[in-house]
């Protein structure tokens, strides 16, 4: 496979690029994660979101434990070539490890972060 497109990305000094996952149907931002060259290449090859876990220092196939896979619909690169947008179909309607549809479920209200989106499924029933 021709990987010239990967060379056009401005990777961080750690070899990472920020990645935003967006619901392809609604446009809602689901989550943010990091990708390295291998994870982005595998994402394209496998047609599903694969990220780089900085905390675990390994590839993270979204949904490998929960079943909440992100099926890749489209990839976009921002104007500075340093942020990737993944437009995905979120299987199970849950992107967040808290059991919510989106990781961005807290809103600043009167200088307090308040959870405004419901838990779709209790994480205790998702993760073993």
As beta bridge partners, residue 83 has none
Contact 70, 63 (CB under 8 A): yes
Instruction: Say which DSSP state 66 is in.
Output: T
pLDDT digits (tens, 9 = 90+) for 42-99: 999 999 999 999 999 999 999 998 999 999 999 999 999 999 999 999 999 999 999 9
- By residue range, what is the domain housing residue 75? 4-117
Give the CATH number for residue 84: 3.10.20.810
Q: Is residue 10 part of a domain?
A: yes
- Over 90: is that where the pLDDT of 2 sits? no
Tally of domains in the chain: 1
Q: How many CA atoms lie within 13 A of 29 on its CB side?
A: 11
Strands (E), 37-101: 50-53, 58-61, 70-77, 84-90
The residues that bridge with 11 in the sheet, in sequence order, are none
**Rounded CA separation 43/106 (Å):** 28
Asked if pLDDT for residue 25 goes beyond 80, the answer is yes
Residue 124 lies in a domain: no
In whole numbers, what is the pLDDT of the chain averaged over residues?
95
Judged against a pLDDT cut of 80, whether residue 3 lies above it is answered with no
Calculate mean pLDDT across residues 18-35. Answer: 98
Q: Is residue 50 part of a domain?
A: yes
**Would you place residue 127 in the very low, low, confident or very high pLDDT band (cuts 50, 70, 90)?**
confident
Classify residue 122: in a domain, yes or no: no
The per-residue pLDDT for 1 is 58
Strand partners, 9: none
């Amino acid at each position: 496979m021709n990987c010239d497109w990967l060379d056009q990305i401005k990777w961080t000094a750690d070899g990472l690029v920020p990645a935003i996952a967006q619901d392809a149907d609604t446009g809602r931002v689901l989550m943010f994660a990091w990708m390295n060259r291998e994870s982005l290449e595998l994402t394209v090859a496998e047609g599903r979101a694969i990220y780089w876990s900085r905390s675990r220092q390994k590839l993270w196939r979204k949904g490998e434990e929960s079943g909440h896979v992100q099926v890749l619909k489209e990839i976009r690169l921002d104007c500075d070539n340093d942020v990737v947008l993944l437009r995905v179909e979120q299987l199970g309607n849950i992107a967040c490890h808290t059991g919510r549809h989106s990781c961005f479920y807290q809103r600043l209200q009167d200088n307090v972060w308040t959870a405004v989106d419901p838990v779709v499924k209790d994480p205790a029933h998702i993760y073993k």
